[in-house]
Amino acid sequence: MKILPGAPARLARAWLWLGVLALIGSGVLAVLLVLSRTPGIQDFFPLKSLFRAALVVHVDLSVGVWFMAFAAVIWSAAGRAGFVGLGWTGFGLAALGTAALSLSPFFPGAEPVLNNYIPILKQPLFFGAIVVFASGMMLTVARALLTVRPGGMADPWRLGAFLGAVAAFLSLSSFGWSWLAVPVIQETIYFEVLFWGGGHTLQFQHALLMVVAWLSIAAAPGEQTVGASPRAVSVMFLVAAVPLLAVPAIYLLVPVGSMPHMDLFAKLMIWGHPYMAPLIVLAAWSLFGLRTLPANPAKSAFIASLILFVLGGVLGYLIQGVNVVIPAHYHGSTVGVTLAFMGMTYVLLPRLGFVQAEGQMAVLQPYVYGFGQLIHILGLAWSGGYGVQRKVAGAEQMLTTLPQKIGMGMMGLGGLIAVIGGLMFVVVCLRAMFRRRER
Ligand code: HEM
């Protein structure tokens, strides 16, 4: 995976900085969320009244900015040098939107609305931040579609990156179409409907780019370590992208915002993600191929990522009703993607002109983050089985039984270990990114 010097490398470095900063912000807020929900600690934790606003920004900085910024790292690294102005304008708008989004909770009137996918603060600065960020991402996705050339079936890595950009384009277009089509009402349901179609479509972008990250880790030691031929891998990517064809079909054929429209996107999630199965099996097989290689940070991340993503997928099919099994599923899947991106960061650092991340802390970091999340997720899934509600904190959780308290205690312990793992990633990355590799 060769990264062209000049604009492709510079843009990839800039997006990596934005992504890491967003992950730091999301991680700091995760501490507040965890302590507001941990039995015992919740009773005297002074900041739990900020739980709802913190949850909004935690989600938007993580699945919003971190994931989109890292997608732009992949598209910049995989792309050619053209349309530089488009690239930097997109980055500038996204960075500006991220700054405004992070500051908005400190301004008056920041009323949290906890809808799915992109929760919001009902406040002009926050709305402005979302629109500016989305505009920056639309320019970035347009540049990706213009500069990432899949190169037929011989280059599955670039084909995967390109299909990820197609998913992003469909998702951002869905947000725009819903914005134009859904009548504005002041209720939470409006934001739920507004972000439903695009939010579901985004999950296909994240999953496709997670596999691109896995492949870059598997291929790092040499092309032969990916467990199938480039042509076969390309076919698997095309199969995984087939469900995306349903997105414009649902928008064109079913009234936007209607129950059937919402229902079809929920079904697209259930029936669409299994198309990823061949790529998941390939990843497990490629990982098996890496077993004899010495321990390194990217390999650790690949192992932890695959375990969490598969666990998140299984939990997704165990969701019954509204309870904390839902965030257990979310964290399995999204932290699986996050760990894949962390692993790819370790592969990219020296190729972007930074020094290599090495040493025991770098090798252990993904395991600490992954193990913490594993406990966090199992605690949430167990508590969900005992009816603990999502998105509530403190006494509002009504943790009355011992199983509920044990489960949310596990959530708290695992969450804090994961935060330490996240902190280790930031330290390892910043150490490497503040030093440039000798030419
Ligand atoms: C240090 C790691 C993390 C910890 C400890 C953590 C903790 C939490 C907690 C306690 C909640 C509130 C759950 C509830 O009240 O229902 C939450 C919600 C959420 N987090 Fe995280 N989180 C972490 C990392 C991430 C990452 C990396 C992502 C995505 C990239 C993410 C995505 C989400 C989402 C989407 C929700 C909303 C869940 C829902 O709608 O039910 N989190 N997180």
Looking at the DSSP assignment, which residues form a beta bridge with residue 113? 120
254, part of any domain: no
Domain that holds residue 335: 298-439
Q: Ligand 1, closest atom to CA 373?
A: 2
Considering only CA atoms, which residue is closest to atom 34 of ligand 1?
A: 59
Residues whose CB is less than 8 angstroms from the CB of residue 317 and which lie 6 or more positions away in sequence, other chains included: 270
pLDDT of 2? 78
- Closest-CA residue, ligand 1 atom 14, reads 391
Determine, yes or no, domain membership for 21: no
Contact 70, 9 (CB under 8 A): no
Kindly give the distance from the C-alpha atom of residue 30 to the centroid of ligand 1, in angstroms, as a whole number: 7
Owner of token pair 């229902």: 263
Report the domain count for the chain. 1
The residue assigned the tokens 């839902």 is 326
DSSP 161-220: HHHHHHHHHHHHHHHHHHHHHSPP-SSHHHHHHHHHHHHHHHHHHHHHHHHHHHHHHHHT
Would you say residue 355 lies in a domain? yes
Kindly state the average pLDDT of the residues 10-21: 97
What pLDDT sits at residue 351? Answer: 93
Q: Average pLDDT, stretch 69-90?
A: 97
Q: Is the pLDDT of residue 72 over 80?
A: yes
Token readout for 383 is: 């508590």
Q: Could you give the CA distance from residue 70 to residue 266 in angstroms, rounded to a whole number?
A: 26
Tokens of 116: 């799915």
* pLDDT, mean of residues 199-220: 94
pLDDT tens digits along 223-245: 556 778 999 999 999 999 999 99
How sure is the predictor about 367, in pLDDT bands with cuts at 50, 70 and 90? very high
Segment 359-377 shows an average pLDDT of: 97
328 alpha carbon – ligand 1 mean position (Å): 9
**pLDDT tier, 186 (very low <50, low <70, confident <90, very high otherwise):** low
DSSP state of 355: P
Q: How far apart are the first and last CA of the chain?
A: 19
> What is the reported pLDDT for 396?
87
Q: What are 185's two structure tokens? A: 């009402």
| Dist CA 123 CA 112 (whole Å) | 9
* Residues 39, 44, 47, 48, Cα dihedral to 10°: 40
Nearest residue to 211 via CA among 104, 285, 140: 285
- Rounded CA-CA distance 410/380 in Å is 8
Q: 430 C-alpha to center of ligand 1: Å?
A: 23
From 21, 32, 33, mutation site for ligand 1 pocket: most ligand atoms within 8 A of C-beta: 33
Among protein residues, the one whose CA lies closest to atom 22 of ligand 1: 30
- Report which protein residue has its CA nearest ligand 1's atom 1: 419
Q: Is residue 341 part of a domain?
A: yes
Q: If pLDDT is split at 50, 70 and 90, which confidence band does 14 have?
A: very high
Residue 435: inside a domain: yes
Give the confidence band of 439 by pLDDT, cuts at 50, 70, 90.
low
Residue with tokens 């062209």: 4
403 pLDDT higher than 80: yes
Asked if the structure places residue 75 within a domain, the reply is no
More confident site: 40 or 179: 179
In angstroms, the CA 306 to CA 97 distance is 32
Give me the pLDDT at residue 183, please. Answer: 86
Is residue 144 a contact partner of residue 79, using CB atoms and an 8 Å limit?
yes
Tell me the sheet residues that pair with 436: 354
Q: Which residues line ligand 1 (CB under 6 A)?
A: 27, 30, 33-34, 37, 55, 58-59, 62-63, 66-67, 116, 324, 326-327, 330-331, 334-335, 338, 376, 390-391, 415, 418-419, 422
Give me 360's structure tokens. Answer: 């025991």
Instruction: Looking at the CA of residue 31, tell me the nearest atom of ligand 1.
Output: 5
Per mean pLDDT, which range of 68-82, 120-134, 178-192 is the poorest?
178-192
What per-residue confidence (pLDDT) applies to 41? 85
Quick one: pLDDT at residue 1?
A: 66
Instruction: Assess whether pLDDT exceeds 90 at residue 151.
Output: no
Asked whether residue 150 is assigned to any structural domain, the reply reads: no
What's the gap in Å between 414 CA and the centre of ligand 1?
12
Instruction: Name the nearest CA neighbour of 106 among 121, 118, 128.
Output: 121
Contacts of 188 (CB under 8 A, 6+ apart): 113, 114, 115
Residue 113 forms part of a structural domain: no
- pLDDT score, position 222: 64
Assign residue 266 a region (left: φ > 0; alpha: ψ between -120 and 50; beta: otherwise): alpha
Question: What local confidence, expressed as pLDDT, does residue 402 receive?
Answer: 94
Q: Tell me, in angstroms, the distance from the centre of ligand 1 to residue 64's CA.
A: 12
The per-residue pLDDT for 47 is: 77
In this prediction, residue 188 carries a pLDDT of 79
From 59, 60, 322, the mutation candidate for ligand 1 (largest count of ligand atoms within 8 A of CB) is 59
Q: Mean pLDDT of all residues in the chain? A: 93
Rounded distance from Cα 413 to ligand 1 centre (Å): 14
What CATH number is attached to the domain comprising 312? 1.20.120
Q: What percent of the chain has pLDDT over 70?
A: 97
Report whether 105 contacts 57 (CB < 8 A). yes
Beta bridge partners of 120: 113
